[in-house]
Chains A and B, each alone.
Chain A
């Protein structure tokens, strides 16, 4: 890095001539944020594929609980003896599926990839504040992934207490085979993961706060950067709590303490009677991370879509300041609502009321974000390329899944919905599908920046339509199963006559899941094929305003060959009236704007009469609504 730092003063130089990079320093122990982001992405994609294949295995089990699948014995060995999935292994599958998807794909794979790629590029920095810490962050993540995968092969199987690993189930090896070595490895892997996440998070915040280029005021940062910053802050504040919680669980498991155990007889707990702890304490510690974690997953996805929607609608994002405000509001509120996962743990009903209030308040900034997206689309000129479609899909999932959150956040309604399939449907839509769509949207959008080529568009569209249809077909019917009282994490429903009515639905969901799985293989093919054979990208393929598109297509260590460009305006000057092209990059000064810190000429407000350029049918609708609300005729 020092070599790069010396060249920041604007002398023209050819970066490649100065220092030769070895294969190892360029591709493996790289300290270049762009390479690290690719490493995060590809590790995330591999983990995601594993997680997805796991879901297909247990979907088969749920659809055909009585059928034998010889293939299970082939791929799972003793866990699929005679073609029947072992119930313990079913629990292991759902546990590892959840863990991989939540932490390895949607936390590291999503925010690790795009924070690394975009923070230096979009704020105008040569690299992260500490490239070395950044490298460490990836390698801790890599180690953690390897340990998690290794845990699949140990005696007793991987952790099987659900991804929330509530003790005593996760603390007592006698209670379930997966709580032996598998659980220990899970905890070790998670501790590594937390270290990775903290190293990354501190770096992101430090870079955004200190290393913005001249003129990149906070109010000129793209919404992606706002989202990544607050994601990092959330992570820094909440992950250490899980770190502590996991350590205490390690003590309970290995050293005979009783932080989370009470009234457990000696014969169940390795010969030592456990008294005095509280299993609920673990849930508090877990969800103190666990709930912000939901927003650690969601905020980057929302940031990415904000950027993609504005770019492809050729319109400024509607309500930029409101969007920032809602990110901040969501970030703060997410810390005081963790108890809504625990309404029925026997907590004091008054405490439940407080958590319920906080939870439902979060719906307000979320609603503001949705309406702002709709406001951005309105009267836009939408380029419906794959990333835009995925962004629109995200908004659709965010609405569908967000609204069911209003049911679950209501403590009273939660009593009968808790841990039912309604919950499964809710979080797979709002957190799973929406965040995955945000990630895919980001991949299609920034692929040219990462690999210098573009992905195949037709395959992208097929991928999108198959994925959105299958995701809705998988998760929408699950709401009804939940409302009928079907519990989640059940190996089979054959013991319950009243759930027989859902046999067909379960089969339908499995077919849909397989179609979704096939769609992801189309994506994988497209992703790896385009890396080598895709169309060569131009410098600014999407005609976007932000800084990353001012760097050359071919990656340089240090990002810009010459001086770092200065920033003269906010990133959303699309379709400004009076300008010929429909976008003005942030680096373009206004006429007479010499100092980057001074504000550009204000865009003349659309004339008073022109503002409500409503189309006819909308005008009618709005006037009806207005009259109904009691406004003047």
Chain B
């Protein structure tokens, strides 16, 4: 029993040491953050953390002492088998409840709680929900079985386990059912994938999205709907994007730092990067494509809700669509974004005519041109 006491006091000492250093740390924190508004909150958090550590040590110590006493008495006081079995059951119930709570509370924060903002978003969301439903059923059943069995079949010295090495029929069943379910998911997934990646109609509006450390530009193709050629050696020489305005199709191109797109119009985004790989991520439209230097990539989609309509629907006057960088690209990666505004056709027409083209002649051509396309696929239907 003697070494027990020594050990216990040793553990207690460590706990005290940890707690005191932590509280000093918390105090430091407090002094530092005295000017900051949330100082009390963070102080309390650190206190909680300290108390948690202390608790853990005390619990550990109690168990240790109990098991030592059990050893002395030759009769274990704590039956970890039973404790674990019960905890497994508690974990299962609390875990499932927490999962449901998460879906109820945090589910509302996801994109699926917003109205679909592009033509393919509905199809995407359906695919997601089907997958969620199927995997959700499997998740619940298997986790229940796992922890229920842990609880139910805990060691009982009066019982012997069932010697049951295999059952081919059963194994066949649980190979075929997943195969069947996955076939459904694969076939549906391929259909959605094909819809999302197949290029849209010929009169889609061509826009180039140009990424560099650490911002985005958009280049509109202007009245001719054709992007002028670029030369990477000219980037930063003639202009940031390296587009020589004297070249064919380039004169009426418009370079902006905001992405305005007209609603219900096929948009064909051409991606280009200057330095490293970026990824253009437009979460609300279910659009993402890597932006690779020296490798042109494309994505086409059709926005269906203007920014204003979305603001009304969400009852949030500050809502904005966004294009953000989603591939690690350097120190300011986390701030590399571009505002995306979906305009009605009239608003878009008005906005784009205010933007100067690369040449004065190009601006004139653009102003004389109507960007409203009568035969847009949605209008013609």
A residues with CB within 8 A of B:
64, 66-71, 83, 87-88, 91, 161-162, 166, 168-169, 172, 175-177, 261-265, 268, 273, 275, 277-280, 313-322, 344-346, 349, 352-353, 356-357, 360-361, 363-364, 367-368, 370-375, 377-385, 389, 392, 395-396, 399-400, 403-404, 406-407, 410-413, 415-416, 418-420, 456-459, 461-462, 465-466, 468-469, 472, 476-477, 480, 483-485, 487, 489-493, 495-498, 501-502, 505, 507, 511, 514-515, 518-519, 522, 572, 574-577, 582, 603, 606, 611, 613, 615
Q: A503 CB to closest chain B CB, in angstroms?
A: 11
Q: Is the CB of B153 within 8 A of A313?
A: yes
Q: Is the CB of A410 within 8 A of B294?
A: no
- Give the residues in chain B near A476, CB-CB below 8 Å: 98-99, 102
CA distance A403 to B132 in the complex (A): 9
CA distance A458 to B156 in the complex (A): 20
Query: Does B355 lie at the interface of the complex (its beta carbon under 8 Å from any beta carbon of A)?
Result: no
CA distance A56 to B81 in the complex (A): 32
Q: Which residue of B lies closest to A383 (CB)?
A: B155
CA distance A314 to B160 in the complex (A): 8
Q: Is the CB of A353 within 8 A of B84?
A: no
Q: Is the CB of B189 within 8 A of A410?
A: yes
CA distance A611 to B292 in the complex (A): 60
Interface residue from B45, B110, B170 paired with A484 (Cβ < 8 Å): B110
Q: Is the CB of B196 within 8 A of A412?
A: yes
- Give the residues in chain B near A176, CB-CB below 8 Å: 330-331
CA distance A458 to B166 in the complex (A): 34
Interface residue from A87, A175, A611 paired with B275 (Cβ < 8 Å): A175
* Stretch among B135-143, B221-229, B343-351, B363-371 lining the A interface: B135-143
Q: A177 CB to closest chain B CB, in angstroms?
A: 8
CB contacts under 8 Å to A, within B129-177, are: 131-132, 134-135, 138-139, 142-143, 145-147, 149-150, 152-156, 159-167, 170-171, 174-175
CA distance A410 to B83 in the complex (A): 41
Convert B82-123 into 0s and 1s, putting 1 for each residue whose CB lies closer than 8 angstroms to a CB of A.
Answer: 011101100100010011001000110111100000000000
- Give the residues in chain B near A265, CB-CB below 8 Å: 232-233, 235-236
CA distance A458 to B7 in the complex (A): 15
- Give the residues in chain B near A322, CB-CB below 8 Å: 166, 171, 175
- Give the residues in chain B near A572, CB-CB below 8 Å: 165
CB contacts under 8 Å to A, within B222-253, are: 232-233, 235-236
- The 3 A-B residue pairs with the shortest CB-CB distance in the complex, in nearest-first order: A262-B294, A485-B283, A346-B297
A-B contact sample (19 more), CB < 8 A, given A415-B286, A493-B334 = A68-B33, A268-B275, A344-B289, A345-B292, A346-B289, A346-B292, A352-B197, A378-B164, A383-B155, A400-B143, A403-B139, A406-B182, A406-B185, A413-B189, A416-B283, A459-B64, A462-B63, A491-B334, A495-B335
Q: Is the CB of A411 within 8 A of B162?
A: no
CA distance A577 to B161 in the complex (A): 9
- Give the residues in chain B near A367, CB-CB below 8 Å: 174-175, 178
CA distance A406 to B296 in the complex (A): 29
CA distance A382 to B193 in the complex (A): 45
Q: Is the CB of A603 within 8 A of B292?
A: no
- Give the residues in chain B near A606, CB-CB below 8 Å: 162-164
Q: Which residue of A lies closest to B191 (CB)?
A: A412
Contacts A68-B33, A368-B175, A483-B112: A381 and B160 contacting too (C-beta < 8 A)? yes
Query: Does B373 lie at the interface of the complex (its beta carbon under 8 Å from any beta carbon of A)?
Result: no
CA distance A364 to B181 in the complex (A): 10
- Give the residues in chain A near B112, CB-CB below 8 Å: 483
Q: Is the CB of A384 within 8 A of B150?
A: yes
CA distance A448 to B208 in the complex (A): 63
A-B contact pairs, 23 of them (CB 8 A): A67-B42, A70-B29, A83-B32, A175-B275, A177-B331, A261-B293, A313-B153, A315-B163, A315-B164, A316-B164, A363-B178, A368-B171, A374-B145, A377-B149, A399-B142, A404-B135, A413-B189, A415-B288, A461-B63, A480-B106, A489-B334, A495-B334, A613-B162
Q: Is the CB of A406 within 8 A of B131?
A: yes
Contacts A172-B275, A384-B81, A457-B67: A576 and B163 contacting too (C-beta < 8 A)? yes
Q: Is the CB of B275 within 8 A of A316?
A: no
Task: Count CB-based A-B contacts (< 8 Å).
Answer: 377
Q: Is the CB of B161 within 8 A of A314?
A: yes
- Give the residues in chain A near B84, CB-CB below 8 Å: 384, 389, 461
CA distance A214 to B146 in the complex (A): 37
Q: A431 CB to closest chain B CB, in angstroms?
A: 18
Query: Does B318 lie at the interface of the complex (its beta carbon under 8 Å from any beta carbon of A)?
Result: yes
- Give the residues in chain A near B294, CB-CB below 8 Å: 261-264, 275, 277-279
Query: Does B381 lie at the interface of the complex (its beta carbon under 8 Å from any beta carbon of A)?
Result: no
Q: Which of B60, B80, B164 has the most CB of A within 10 A?
A: B164
- Give the residues in chain A near B107, CB-CB below 8 Å: 480
CA distance A166 to B235 in the complex (A): 23
Q: Is the CB of A280 within 8 A of B276?
A: no
- Size bin of chain B's contact surface: 35 or more
Q: Which of B134, B290, B328 has the most CB of A within 10 A?
A: B328
- Give the residues in chain B near A459, CB-CB below 8 Å: 60, 63-64
Query: Does B53 lie at the interface of the complex (its beta carbon under 8 Å from any beta carbon of A)?
Result: yes
Q: Which residue of B lies closest to A170 (CB)?
A: B276
CA distance A71 to B297 in the complex (A): 44
Q: Is the CB of B277 within 8 A of A169?
A: yes
Q: Is the CB of A484 within 8 A of B109?
A: yes
Q: Is the CB of A319 within 8 A of B166?
A: yes
Contacts A490-B333, A518-B56, A603-B163: A413 and B232 contacting too (C-beta < 8 A)? no
Q: Is the CB of B182 within 8 A of A318?
A: no
Contacts A67-B33, A168-B275: A418 and B196 contacting too (C-beta < 8 A)? no
- Give the residues in chain B near A345, CB-CB below 8 Å: 290, 292, 297
Q: Is the CB of A462 within 8 A of B275?
A: no
CB contacts under 8 Å to A, within B11-56, are: 25, 28-29, 32-33, 36, 38, 42, 45, 48-49, 52-53, 56
Q: Is the CB of B277 within 8 A of A346?
A: no
Q: Is the CB of B197 within 8 A of A349?
A: yes
Q: Which residue of A lies closest to B329 (CB)?
A: A169
Q: B270 CB to closest chain A CB, in angstroms?
A: 11
Q: Which residue of B lies closest to A166 (CB)?
A: B277
Query: Does B213 lie at the interface of the complex (its beta carbon under 8 Å from any beta carbon of A)?
Result: yes
Q: Is the CB of B80 within 8 A of A91?
A: no
Q: A63 CB to closest chain B CB, in angstroms?
A: 9
Interface residue from B162, B281, B337 paired with A379 (Cβ < 8 Å): B162
Q: Is the CB of A380 within 8 A of B135?
A: no
Contacts A314-B161, A406-B131: A346 and B293 contacting too (C-beta < 8 A)? no
Q: Which of B170, B324, B331 has the most CB of A within 10 A?
A: B331
Q: Is the CB of A320 within 8 A of B67?
A: no
- Give the residues in chain B near A161, CB-CB below 8 Å: 328
CA distance A371 to B63 in the complex (A): 35
- Give the residues in chain B near A465, CB-CB below 8 Å: 87, 91
